[in-house]
Amino acid sequence: MDYNSAQERVKKLKSFYKNCMWFAIVAGFILIRNFVKYSGTDHNFHGWFILTVWAIILGVKAINLFIFDSEWENQILEEELKK
């Protein structure tokens, strides 16, 4: 891995970890708010749609960062070139 691709990967990792941190903060806020506001009434979780979509987006980003990284791409490219 050269310097430029390593630098780009670090930027992507930093962005991913920031998104995870904000997800945890917002999810915690929504969970606490729902617990306080709806503790005596129903036990439905309000705000699940936003958190579900956000979690799916984070999951896709995680797959792109940790599974389909540049090393994987280079390995597949070399395998194809050998054929």
Residue at token pair 């630098």:
7
Cα separation, 62 vs 73, whole angstroms = 16
| Reported confidence tier of residue 22, pLDDT bands at 50, 70, 90 | very high
Report the predicted TM-score, pTM, of the whole model to 2 decimal places.
0.73
Taking CA atoms, 37 is separated from 45, 46, 47, 65, 71, in Å, by 11, 10, 13, 38, 48
For 5, the token pair is: 């691709």
Cα separation, 7 vs 16, whole angstroms = 14
Domain ranges of the chain: 3-82
Q: What is the pLDDT of residues 42-76, one digit of tens each?
A: 666 677 888 999 999 999 999 988 888 777 777 88
Cα separation, 4 vs 14, whole angstroms = 15
